[in-house]
Structure formats: C-alpha cells, structure tokens
Amino acid sequence: MTNITKNSILTALTKIIDPELGQNVVDLGMVKGLVIKDGNVGFTIEVGSNQGSEKEPIRKACEKAVNEIPGVLSVTAVLTAEIKNNTSQRNSEQMKQNGEPENQGQTNSNQKKPREIPGIESIIAVASAKGGVGKSTTAVNLAIALAKEGNKVGILDCDIYGPSAPKLLGLNGKPEIIPPNRLKPMEAFGIKCMSIGFLIDEESPMIWRGPMVMGAIEQMLKDVEWGNLDILVCDLPPGTGDAQLTLSQRVALTGAVIVSTPQDIALLDARRGINMFHKVDVPVFGIIENMSYFTCPKCNTRSNIFNHGGAKSTADEMGVEFLGEIPLDILIRKTSDEGIPITYGQPDSEHSLTYRRIASKVAQIVASATASGHHQPPPIKIM
Ligand code: ADP
C-alpha cells in the first residue's frame, strides 16, 4: 500500500491504448487530476466532447489496470470532456428532445461568471429534481461522512422555502453575529452549517420573490464566516427552478451529485436534473439511489418497494457515475427525525459504512476535479 506512487499508476496506465489514436492514454495527456489517498486512487480521463460513451471502455480498462497494482484499494476514473462553445446549444437540443421547458436556457451560462468563495476549496451541490426522495437526509449524512474522511466540511441548506438542515442536525437557536455584519455558522457533528431556518421563524409564512431567493443564498455563502473548508455541501431545493440554475451559474460549483429513488417517475426527473447541470456546464459527479430496497427486520426478506437499480441504469445510459445505493430503512428515518444523523450516531452501522463508501468516492472525484483545475469556471462536463 505504501508503494503506490503517481509514477507506478502512470506506468500502469501507459498500457492502456486509445484504439482510435493508437497511443497510450498517458502520452496522449488524457490522465488528469491524479489523487492518491490511503490506497484509494482517483483521476479523470479527458476525452473529446461527445465521446463519453465511446470512450467508456478506456475508462474501465484504466480502472482495471490501476486496480491490479498491489496495495490499491479502490479506483475511481471519471471521463470528462472539454466543452466546446456550442455546448449550450447542443444541450438545449438535448433538453428539447427530453421535453424540457426551453425557458431554462434564458439565463445562459455565458452571461455570468461563476464566483469562488475565499477559503472554500470545493463546492458540491446535492440535488434531486423531485421532492421527498431523501435528498436532504443524504446530503447531511454525506457531509458528515466526508468530515469523517478527514475533510473540513460545511453544509449550506439552500432550501429557502423548506429548510431542513436545522432539524436533521438537531440544531436550534440563532447564529452568532460577528460585527459588523457577518454570521458565524452553527456547528454540529463536526460540520459547519447555515440555513435560513436559523434566521426566520419556522412557523411564519415567508413570501419569497425570485431574486430574493438567490440573494438569501448568496448572503449565506458570502456573509458567513465559513473559514477554511475542503468541501461545502449545498443541499439544493428540489426541482430545476431558479434557485438551482442561478446557484449553478453564480457560484463556482465543483460538481453536482444527484439523489433519486429507483422508480421511473423519479428517474425521469433525475434526467432533467442532470441535463440542467449539463446545460450550465456543471459536472455531474454521479447518482445515488436512495430508498433502493427494503430488508424486513423480522424475516430478512428483501422487497424492492420503489423498484431497484433504476439509478444505476440511468447513470450508465447518461454516462455519469453510479455512486451507490442506500436502502429504505427505519433507522435512517428515525435518526433523521431525532436530529442525530446515522453516520454520526451509529458510525459503524451498515448504512453508515455505505454513506462512507459513497463519500469516499465523492471525495476522490472532487479532489481530481479540483486538482485538474476544473472548477473555475467549469470548462468541462462529466460525460
Ligand atoms: P427531500 O430532501 O428529498 O425532500 P428528505 O431527506 O427530507 O427528502 O426525506 C424525506 C423523508 O424520508 C424523511 O422523513 C426522511 O427521514 C426519510 N428518508 C430519507 N431517506 C431515507 C431512507 N434511506 N430510509 C428511510 N427513510 C428515509
């Protein structure tokens, strides 16, 4: 394990030849953002735009070659493609084919440059195009799992209409004000957190107009003393509305993770979500299937309540990574309701280990994307 070096990995990768170009992937300069952490290896393979599915065998061969190096525990290779100027147009056509409203293209990604937040190394969005699929639960557990992997993590609850982070993290009270006008994020279970839920009364109805939504999110990003963070997890509201689109365009998102349940209707929405991120040139790091299956605690029989495996096939079909599956389990629901997420309260449980595996994959992809400088403004898309 200790002998794994960048050189040994690159040497293994020189055996992988791109059949179209007749040269190995290293000499072709396709391998970028190589990251090694405790035997876990991550890197990106840059291919031409539109070549995602075509180059998939190369990605697989690269993973296999590195996996065979003694001491390597896991390998995550991600295909990325340089975006040509006509990407927005192509994606718009793609969206039309998918029956999506064209007005989503009104705020074209070229109009505003994404902005970085000082001190924050990478920002990932956790999104679902549909409500109730367990996105916030997943975001919170992913954030804690990322912190347990040794990262400095924050979570920003971007759901202005229905904030859920305070409840999920068992947090109440108001954030401290740092004079003259900055806020100290709240903290729980080793992560920092900010949510509109800390600032307004949960019971009082709030009427938000479009620009106010983005204003509130931007303030929670910029006027909060986040300090140095490796990863800020943004829990986006469900859907593909203004908040998602504006956040994607105004903030230098490193990438997005999509949460979906396995059934058709949710996956149709997941496709919409993926297309939206593609449209605004935000790499999609992968899909997580939540409520993937149910195992009866009494008789141990497994039931696929919302079907099973749909997220994996959608990921394959759309050329994005499948990050893992989380079962439907009463323990996950209960710990969320109690405000002590399972990844913290029961860190050795099977489900926590699943969240940890997913977090480790996400961390590798984020590190590769950051190392190859692909997050400001994002010039790539994950195919
Ligand atoms: P969303 O953010 O997509 O609206 P939430 O994270 O609020 O969804 O989850 C909706 C409900 O489903 C919550 O009651 C939550 O505790 C529950 N839930 C989420 N994921 C799971 C799971 N894997 N197993 C059991 N319950 C879950």
26-48, pLDDT tens digit by residue?
Answer: 999 889 878 887 788 888 888 77
- For 148-158, the pLDDT digits (tens) are 999 999 999 99
| 135 Cα–ligand 1 center, Å | 7
Q: Determine whether the shortest distance from the Cβ of 151 to ligand 1 is under 6 A.
A: no
| 195 Cα–ligand 1 center, Å | 18
Query: Is the CATH number 3.40.470.10 carried by domain 6-80?
Result: no
Mean pLDDT of 38-63: 80
Residue 292 has pLDDT above 90, yes or no: no
Task: Please return the burial class of 117, using the count of CB atoms within 10 Å of its CB with bins 0-12, 13-18 and 19+.
Answer: middle
> Number of C-alpha atoms within 13 angstroms, CB side, residue 216?
24
Partners of residue 233 on adjacent β-strands: 124, 155
- Please give the Cα distance from 221 to 158 (Å, whole number): 10
Q: Alpha helices of 54-177 — where are they, by DSSP H?
A: 56-67, 87-97, 135-148, 165-168
Residue nearest to atom 6 of ligand 1 (CA): 134
Q: Determine whether the shortest distance from the Cβ of 162 to ligand 1 is under 6 A.
A: no
| 137 Cα–ligand 1 center, Å | 5
Confidence grade of residue 276 (pLDDT, cut at 50, 70, 90): confident
| 204 Cα–ligand 1 center, Å | 24
Q: Where are the domains of the chain?
A: 6-80, 120-372
pTM of the predicted model, to two decimals?
A: 0.74
Please tell me the predicted confidence (pLDDT) of residue 363. 93
Please tell me the predicted confidence (pLDDT) of residue 245. 74
Q: Determine whether the shortest distance from the Cβ of 136 to ligand 1 is under 6 A.
A: yes
Please tell me the predicted confidence (pLDDT) of residue 202. 65
Q: Determine whether the shortest distance from the Cβ of 332 to ligand 1 is under 6 A.
A: yes
- Same fold across 6-80 and 120-372: no
Q: Determine whether the shortest distance from the Cβ of 326 to ligand 1 is under 6 A.
A: yes
Mutate which of 126, 137, 235 to test ligand 1's pocket (most atoms within 8 Å of Cβ)?
137
Query: Is the CATH number 3.40.50.300 carried by domain 120-372?
Result: yes
| 336 Cα–ligand 1 center, Å | 8
Mutate which of 167, 234, 290, 333 to test ligand 1's pocket (most atoms within 8 Å of Cβ)?
333
- For 324-370, the pLDDT digits (tens) are 999 999 999 999 999 999 999 999 999 999 999 999 999 999 988 87
- For 174-232, the pLDDT digits (tens) are 899 888 888 999 999 999 999 988 987 766 666 666 667 777 888 888 889 999 999 99
| 290 Cα–ligand 1 center, Å | 9
Please tell me the predicted confidence (pLDDT) of residue 381. 41
Please tell me the predicted confidence (pLDDT) of residue 269. 79
Contact 137, 332 (CB under 8 A): yes
Confidence grade of residue 103 (pLDDT, cut at 50, 70, 90): very low
